[in-house]
Amino acid sequence: MLLILVIIILFIIVFLNLRNFFKLNKEQKVLKANKLTTFNKKNLYNWMNLTKKERYNLSKQDSFKYMDRRKLLLDEIRKEYKKISRENSMKNIKKK
């Protein structure tokens, strides 16, 4: 009976330690992924300390952000051009 009780207590202790280890490991990954967002001359050293995969993922995210901003800007320019074109066509119609 005592042996079974000791085994159960050891199992519980091992389980709790493993759970804490995996929990800490997961938090470290999250912190590492979010610690650097922008890079410039001041933090170039931090950029070089990242792994190749992290640098690739960050540059990929920057590329997607740039592409989205570019699409929005192009849409805005197209709308403005259409507006100007309509105004000019209305002026030409009124002149005739």
Average pLDDT over residues 25-41: 58
Q: How far is it, in rounded angstroms, from Cα 55 to Cα 58? A: 5
Residues 14 and 49 in one domain: no
User: How far apart are alpha carbons 28 and 78 in whole angstroms?
Assistant: 45
Percentage, residues of the chain above pLDDT 90: 21
**Do 53 and 93 share a structural domain?**
yes
Q: With a cut of 80, say whether residue 94 has pLDDT above it.
A: no
Domain that holds residue 16: 1-35
The answer to whether residues 25 and 41 belong to one domain is: no
The pLDDT value given to residue 70? 96
Q: Are residues 17 and 62 in the same domain?
A: no
Q: What is the pLDDT of residue 42?
A: 76
Q: How many domains does the chain have?
A: 2
61 and 77 in a common domain: yes
- Burial of 18: CB neighbours in 10 Å, binned 0-12, 13-18, 19+: exposed
55 and 91 housed in the same domain: yes
Q: Please check whether residues 71 and 60 belong to one and the same domain.
A: yes
pLDDT more than 70, % of the chain: 78
Q: Cα separation of 64 and 47, whole Å?
A: 19
The predicted pLDDT at position 20 comes to 74
